Chain A
Amino acid sequence: MREQSTRKMVYLSMLIAMGTALHVVEGMIPIPLPIPGVKLGLANMVTLLALYLYGFRDGLTVALLRVFLASLVSGTFLSPGFLLAITGAVGSTAVMALLLKHTRCFSMIGTSMAGALGHNLGQLFAASLLLQSSAVIYYLPILLFSGTATGFFTGYLLNSLLQQKSALPGEWYR
């Protein structure tokens, strides 16, 4: 038992570290368009994987800790961007967890896209509160578009990853 929980903790920590690294690195990629909030979302792969392997609680932990650490590293801790990232993470994790647990009709692709949708909606909601303006809704089509596209992409990557069983911790392949 102990071996398993240690292994789990180590693996989760690795996931969090990877998620943080992905988050920070992709934040450094300049986007030609002056649209904030559009990003590759690679770090969501990590969240989704954690959800897939260990369930909602651990998945949410990974997601939130990843956002915390990444913001500390980038120096954006407690900034508006940080708050948006938190709400986005909660939104996407909740959506993805629900889908993973109760449905079988989606692969990682669909789940990831739905997660992106949850992420964007969570962010828009928080932004509208922060800015006290309903004008943020003009962002919706852009976010939907980029969310669907990046969600598809990261889901596809994760699908491929899961086919390489060696990436997963011991108890998953016997």
Chain B
Amino acid sequence: MTKGDKILLAALTCLTLLSAALLYGRFFLPKESTRARQAVVSVRGEVVRRIDLPSSGKSSFQVQGRVGPSMVEVDGARVSMREAPCAGGICVKQGWIEHPGQSIACVPGEILVRIEGAALLDAVTR
């Protein structure tokens, strides 16, 4: 092997590894549950609060919606709507969400809590 050959071999190897990392890298990212995610709370389309997940311990805060205040609770990696002023209380009954793409919506109050981050699914038909 000549010196040129060796350099070329090294260059091609680097190119292979680099392209592999760039193209395939996204599929090997650590499991979604440990990646940085955020719970984004918005009222009528305006973001009012962002919480980094997982958060330490339990906490809760109030959100002013269209028809009154709602209580959002954060517990470690999950989030739920604790109290809501709407009639059916569907949002409260939804329980906890923690995966990117999931959301709890209080329709009358126009409050939306959504988990943002890399998701394996684009949407869920329900």
Contacts and interface: CB of A to CB of B under 8 A. Distances in A.
Contacts of B19: 140-141, 144
A106 B16 contact: no
Contacts of A113: 5, 8-9, 12
A97 interface: no
B2 A141 contact: no
Interface residues of B, number: 16
Contacts, number: 52
Interface residues of A, number: 19
Interface string B9-35: 100110111011001100000000000
Interface in A120-146: 137-138, 140-141, 144-145
A13 to B, nearest CB: 31
- Chain A interface mostly: helix
19 contacts: A103-B4, A105-B2, A105-B3, A106-B2, A107-B5, A110-B1, A110-B2, A113-B9, A113-B12, A138-B23, A138-B24, A140-B23, A141-B16, A141-B17, A144-B15, A144-B19, A147-B12, A148-B13, A148-B16
Interface of B: 1-5, 8-9, 12-13, 15-17, 19-20, 23-24
Interface of A: 103, 105-107, 109-110, 113-114, 117, 137-138, 140-141, 144-145, 147-148, 152, 155
